[in-house]
A and B are shown apart, each in its own frame.
Chain A
Amino acid sequence: MKAAPEEFEALKKLLALKRHEQPPPGYFDHLPRTIRARVQAGVPETVSGFWETLFHRLTLRPAAAYSAVGIACVGLVVGFGLFFQEEGDPPYQTSVETFGQVFPEEVIVPLGMKLASTNVEPESSVQPLLPQHTPSFFFPTQPATSVNFSPGQ
């Protein structure tokens, strides 16, 4: 890291040019007045709030901004999907009340799915827990219609 004193002499002379850079005339007369006015007005700092900071950072990082928008869109779609799917299902409480005694140890998870925690087989007379027709936001099911392919029609 040793350097001869004259090693950077030319550079120092060149850097001296920066000392001649001056702001517009009268700038230093206006600046204290502006600061005083802001102090008296109690103006908040330019970038202070969480949202402003977040926006500032996202503006500076387009990749992060696109990712955030993508995540938000996916979140919205999934959210809407779940919302509509639950609306189409029979009420959750009803299925518990109806079948709770038949499968006392069953574990019921959201969306009407059930997981049996024991090896107890359901009695054959019991109807399946899941409804026959579960409307789905993503894969809407149509009621089956009878089709006759017999010739002559």
Chain B
Amino acid sequence: MIETKSYHATESLLTTAPLENRSSNQMSDDLALVKRAQQEDVSAFDELVRRYQERIYATVYHMTSNHEDANDLVQESFLKAYRALKSFKGNSSFYTWVYRIAVNKTINFLKQRRNKFQMSLDDLDFNAEHDPDLVALISDKTPRRELNLAELQEKLNAAMQKLSETHRLVVTLHDIQGLSHEEIGKIMDCNVGTVRSRLFYARQQLQAYLSDYLK
């Protein structure tokens, strides 16, 4: 069985801190903000948006490979969360709850969009050129020497888009955003075994699609 995430966190904005690593103070703070927002305190909801916008955006963006679509979906997800806030009972964390809204919205959108896919990728940050793992991928010693990072990014996104929505989601949440199997299970409403199994098959497919760049 595949072990839990073995990679280290990067400094990228789009990488999430695992849920269990967040302090209980922050979670209770979330709950206080939720209660204020439930009483139509927009500034409290504003604070919740600031807290989670990057993680939600990252998930939706990696699922769609399109900045404009991700922007629309993130806005719609937070609006839906605001409207549904009164039904939030606090059985799960606000983070998981809003994540679930965003994920459902994104999957519905992707099912409708299937025939009209067009990539609109975000730029790579400055750190990408200095990431030793990525430098190794495009070094002169590899068969991919003719590729630059932007081309590699495009190939990678194209391969991601070939996966089914659920497989793409599990790779995004685990391998890109660093969430644990348990957290993903809560978000996708399935057990840990299903998460592991989906992750395995998703990686296998990705490996096949990207075999030319992984030799």
CB-based nearest A residue for B79: A38
A43 to B200, CA, bound (A): 41
Q: Is the CB of A16 within 8 A of B2?
A: no
Q: Is the CB of B156 within 8 A of A18?
A: yes
Question: Quick one: given A8-B207, A45-B76, are A39 and B82 in contact (CB under 8 Å)?
Answer: yes
Which 3 A-B residue pairs are closest in the complex by CB-CB distance? A20-B128, A13-B133, A19-B12
Determine which of A5, A11, A38, A56 lies in contact with B75 in the assembled complex, contact meaning CB atoms within 8 Å. A38
Q: Is the CB of A15 within 8 A of B116?
A: no
A2 to B1, CA, bound (A): 5
Question: Quick one: given A13-B136, A16-B133, A40-B42, are A21 and B175 in contact (CB under 8 Å)?
Answer: no
Residues of A within 8 A of B (CB): 1-3, 5, 8, 10-24, 27-28, 31-32, 34-36, 38-40, 43, 45-46, 56-57, 60-61
Q: Is the CB of B214 within 8 A of A11?
A: yes
A24 to B70, CA, bound (A): 13
Interface residues of B, dominant DSSP = helix
Answer whether residue B95 sits at the interface, using C-beta atoms and an 8 A cutoff.
no
Contact-residue bracket for chain B: 35 or more
A28 to B12, CA, bound (A): 14
- Complex interface: chain B residues within 8 A of A15 (CB): 156, 171, 175-176, 206
- Complex interface: chain B residues within 8 A of A10 (CB): 214
Interface residues of A, dominant DSSP = helix
Question: Quick one: given A31-B74, A39-B45, A60-B114, are A17 and B82 in contact (CB under 8 Å)?
Answer: no
Question: Quick one: given A1-B197, A34-B75, are A8 and B12 in contact (CB under 8 Å)?
Answer: no
Q: Is the CB of B200 within 8 A of A45?
A: no
A35 to B45, CA, bound (A): 10
Q: Is the CB of B78 within 8 A of A35?
A: yes
- Complex interface: chain A residues within 8 A of B214 (CB): 10-11, 14
Q: Is the CB of A14 within 8 A of B72?
A: no
Q: Is the CB of B124 within 8 A of A17?
A: yes
Answer whether residue B23 sits at the interface, using C-beta atoms and an 8 A cutoff.
no
